Amino acid sequence: TCPHKGPAIYWVLDHQDYLDNHLLLYIGETIAADRRWKGEHDCKGYLAAYCESISNAGFTTNLSIRFWTDVPKKTRERRNLEQSLIRKWLPPFNKETRSRWKTPFI
């Protein structure tokens, strides 16, 4: 769990042993980092299907969520920052990139 209780931008990453870098799967923002993944979230379904697909292919996942807490306190400013990061890195599980990646695992 995340020890930080305030606003954050977060990244969902995977690391495969055969890669030098992490795979960026999702970027999000939250007002309460410690509670963000406790409720409903579309990305949870994608991650479950992703893990199953990776496992079926004979690989393992090493998922992690990284929180950046030095972000704007105001929701609108934080969401603007989140959107600029999504546009820059085009993570496949964000709805904003579906025109590029389609809807994975459905």
Contacts of 58 (CB under 8 A, 6+ apart): none
Give the span between the Cα atoms of 59 and 63, in whole angstroms: 13
- Token pair belonging to 106: 């459905």
**Looking at 5-106, which runs of residues are DSSP E strands?**
8-14, 23-30, 64-68
pTM score? 0.87
Give residue-wise pLDDT tens across range 62-91.
Answer: 999 999 999 999 999 999 999 999 999 999
Confidence of residue 2 (pLDDT cuts 50, 70, 90): low
pLDDT value at residue 106: 62
Contacts of 100 (CB under 8 A, 6+ apart): 90
Give the N- to C-terminal CA distance of the chain in Å, as an integer.
28
Give residue-wise pLDDT tens across range 20-61.
Answer: 999 999 999 999 888 776 767 777 888 888 999 999 999 889
Give the span between the Cα atoms of 73 and 42, in whole angstroms: 24
Give the span between the Cα atoms of 82 and 56, in whole angstroms: 32
